[in-house]
Amino acid sequence: MTKDIIALTRKMPDAWSVVAGLLAGGPDLRLGAAGDGAVLQLCDEAGRPLVSVESPVLVQVAGETARLLGPDGAPPGEGPVWWVEARASTAVPEAERLAGAFAGRLAAMLDGTVWPPGAGEAMGDGDPVPPGVTAAPAPVAAQPAVDVLTGHAAVVIQDRPVIAMTAWLSDARRATLASGRGLQIVTPHTSRLTFATRSLLFAPPSRWVVQDGRGGYYDGLSGAVLRWRDGAFGPAPAESGETPVAEVFRDTAPTGERRLGISVRTAHPADDRLVLGGALEAVWQAVTGGPPAGWGTAEPVNLPWSRRRLTELAYQRAPEPTWAVAVGDPGRPATATLRVLRTEEGVEEDITFTAGYGEDEEPPLDALAGLAEELAARHHLVTLLAQVQTGGRDLHVPARLHAPPVPVAFALGAAEVREIGAGHARRPPLSLSPVELGPDGRHGLHYPLGDGSTADGWTRLDLLMRHLRRSPEPEPEPGPGHEPRA
């Protein structure tokens, strides 16, 4: 496995300071590179990596280090912080000491700190690594984030309290998907996933593999007991044929905290003047009262929120999709993922947003109809689904059982209403009547489903979906001067 050690500095780590930090391990190691030069590596005499160091990232978003590393993560002072991450192979004890020496030397030179706290001192800052040390053989060491590579899975072993979708983890995920493998992240049962990491671990053979503390393993999202077999972690059925659920997964205690989740899909016509991110900004504004604080393509989120820069990146990557994560102000926990996809018809945006609320806070359900109106009128809404779920205000995902979300609202954009049939879409078999968006529902329909306090929202959503799928033939486009009527 590998050990993560992070240097957090106020001053910019230039090439010379990084090299000086790497040389803290002694003169008998070789310097190599990977990832087109984005990763520097200290290697043994055979050229196999002992420590891999990611390019420094300037984190300009307030609260990011505390969100991912805890309240004591950032060095003292205000303003941006440089995040330099090193991964050491724990198969070689000296490698962990080398990573600590690197991080400690860098922090000392550049007015910074080391995470975990004291790791630089504990690893012997500045003490050289004895000659003759060897590292794990390729291909494991060829990918800095991967600890075990088989024909079925790439296994990443992490011991952080919060498992973020770092650049390394994101690169490992892309590589495993391209090779037909699953990404399996192994953690202690005390670890939690960020919302962004959870959003990308959605189907086997990719899994969150949790150590139960007794020598066993279970799936952190389903609780299913797992075992290692044929080069990957998979379900371990009992004699009955059913897979048991780990006892530690059931060990939960309600806190009274809740989350409001909103999933939005938009479809924009092809237009060179299109600026992306407007729908995401509208969701954030409606729920929190302000725009996102920052965004990026990995965690920590490092860039101040900018629709223009998001659009530029998506255009550069087209026709390949663009995935991004956004975060809010620390005082109102909120985060979202955004996927931009170029299609033959135009550009699609898929948004998954969530905000956290304490026991004495109420999610703003009364703002959902106005949000649906704005999305339908200005951002080419396709669908919106809002749900309420019990869960921590900090939005991290623990490896514990939690109740499923309950739908509280659904909305359709204008094109979808026309395709279903406006008259049919306006008459669902529900006690709650839909709200017309725009003049005579010209922009779409919003369906209230409840307040999320009971599971009835699922019953109403099921009835609504069955009704909409039984729609008649699509209605013709209204001609000039005519408005659609019920």
Question: Maximum Cα–Cα distance for the chain, whole Å?
Answer: 84
The mean pLDDT value for 75-79 works out to 82
Do 276 and 380 lie in one domain? The reply is yes
Distance of CA 347 to the CA centre of its chain: 22
Q: At what angle do helices 278-288 and 368-378 cross, to 10 degrees?
A: 160
- In the chain, helix, strand, coil percent, each to 5? 25, 30, 45
User: Could you read off the pLDDT of 128-143 as tens digits, one per residue?
Assistant: 444 443 333 444 444 5
Shared-domain flag, residues 209 and 268: no
Q: Tokens 């391990």 sit at which residue?
A: 25
Q: In terms of domains, do 387 and 458 share one?
A: yes
Same domain, 181 and 118: no
For residue 319, is the peptide bond before it cis, meaning its omega torsion is within 30 degrees of 0?
yes
> Domain boundary residue among 250, 285, 316?
250
| pLDDT tens-digit series, residues 185-210 | 999 999 999 999 999 887 788 999 99
Give the residue from 122, 155, 178 where a domain finishes: 122
Residue 35 lies in a domain: yes
Q: What is the pLDDT of residues 140-157, one digit of tens each?
A: 444 556 888 888 998 998
pLDDT in tens, 61-76: 999 999 999 887 777 8
pLDDT confidence tier of residue 477, bands split at 50, 70 and 90: low
Mean pLDDT over 22-34 rounds to 63
Out of 11-15, 169-173, 213-217, 436-440, the most confident range is: 213-217
Which domain range does residue 262 map to? 258-469
Residues 451, 331: one domain? yes
Coil, strand, or helix at residue 55? Answer: coil
Give me the pLDDT at residue 391, please.
92
pLDDT > 70 fraction of the chain, expressed in percent and rounded: 86
Are 312 and 405 part of one and the same domain? Answer: yes
The single residue listed with the structure tokens 């799936």 is 219
Q: Between 476 and 235, where is the model more confident?
A: 235
Mean pLDDT of 39-47: 72
Instruction: Assign 91 a pLDDT band (cuts: 50, 70, 90).
Output: low
Q: Alpha-carbon distance 280 to 291, whole Å?
A: 9
d(CA 438, CA 441): 5
* Confidence at residue 139, expressed as pLDDT on a 0 to 100 scale: 43
Half-sphere exposure of 482 (CA within 13 A, CB side): 8
Q: Helices 93-109 and 15-22: crossing angle, nearest 10°?
A: 140
Instruction: Report whether 302 contacts 64 (CB < 8 A).
Output: yes
Q: Encoding tokens for residue 47?
A: 């050229």
Give the per-residue pLDDT at 95. 79
What is the value of pTM for the model shown?
0.88
Q: What is the number of structural domains in the chain?
A: 3
Split at pLDDT 50, 70, 90, the class of 87 is confident
**Residue 478 falls inside a structural domain:** no
Alpha-carbon gap, residue 204 to 284, rounded angstroms: 31
d(CA 34, CA 274): 36
Give CA separation, 302 vs 39, 72, 324, in Å. 18, 18, 11
Backbone angles phi, psi at 250, to 5 degrees: -80, -10
Tell me, yes or no, whether 202 and 305 share the same domain.
no
Q: Note the pLDDT of residue 475.
A: 52
Q: Is residue 420 part of a domain?
A: yes
Residue 348 has which token pair?
A: 């699609």
Asked whether the beta carbons of 458 and 406 are under 8 A apart, the reply is yes
Instruction: For residues 386 and 461, state if they share a domain.
Output: yes
- 45-54, 122-131, 210-219, 415-424: lowest mean pLDDT where? 122-131
**For 358-434, where are the E strands, in sequence order?**
381-390, 397-398, 406-413
Q: How far is CA 223 from CA 100, 251, 380, 394, 404, in A?
A: 35, 11, 39, 22, 14
| CA distances for 322 relative to 169, 179, 280, 304, 388, angstroms | 16, 20, 14, 18, 27
Query: In whole angstroms, how far apart are CA 189 and each of 2, 109, 275?
Result: 18, 36, 42
Q: Residues in the chain, how many? A: 486
Angstrom distance (rounded) from CA 315 to CA 55: 24
Does 137 map to a domain? no
d(CA 89, CA 144): 9
Closest of 383, 389, 381, 385 to residue 363, by C-alpha: 389
| Side-chain half-sphere CA neighbours of 340 within 13 A | 28
Task: Tell whether 300 and 357 lie within a shared domain.
Answer: yes
User: Helix or strand or coil: residue 89?
Assistant: strand
347 versus 476: the higher-pLDDT residue is: 347
DSSP string, 284-352: HHHHHSS--SEEESSSS--EE--HHHHHHHHHHHTTS-EEEEEE--TTS-EEEEEEEEE-SSEEEEEEE
Residue 485 included in any domain: no
pLDDT of residue 37: 53
Question: 308 with 375, same domain?
Answer: yes
Q: Are 459 and 450 in contact (CB under 8 A)?
A: no
What mean pLDDT do residues 266-271 have?
Answer: 93
Residues 403, 283 share a domain: yes
Q: 250, 278, 300 — which closes off a domain?
A: 250
In the prediction, which pLDDT does 476 show? 57
Q: Is the peptide bond before 139 cis (omega within 30 degrees of 0)?
A: yes
Q: 3-class DSSP state for residue 67?
A: helix
Is 409 part of a structural domain of the chain?
yes
Residue 378 domain-assigned? yes
What span, in angstroms and rounded, lies between the C-alpha atoms of 59 and 21?
A: 20
**Residue 484 maps to a domain:** no
pLDDT digits (tens, 9 = 90+) for 226-268: 999 999 999 999 888 899 999 999 988 778 899 999 999 999 9
| Whether residue 277 is found in the same domain as residue 411 | yes
Contact in structure between 45 and 132 (CB atoms under 8 Å)? yes
Query: Residues near 71 by Cβ (< 8 Å), separated by ≥ 6?
Result: none
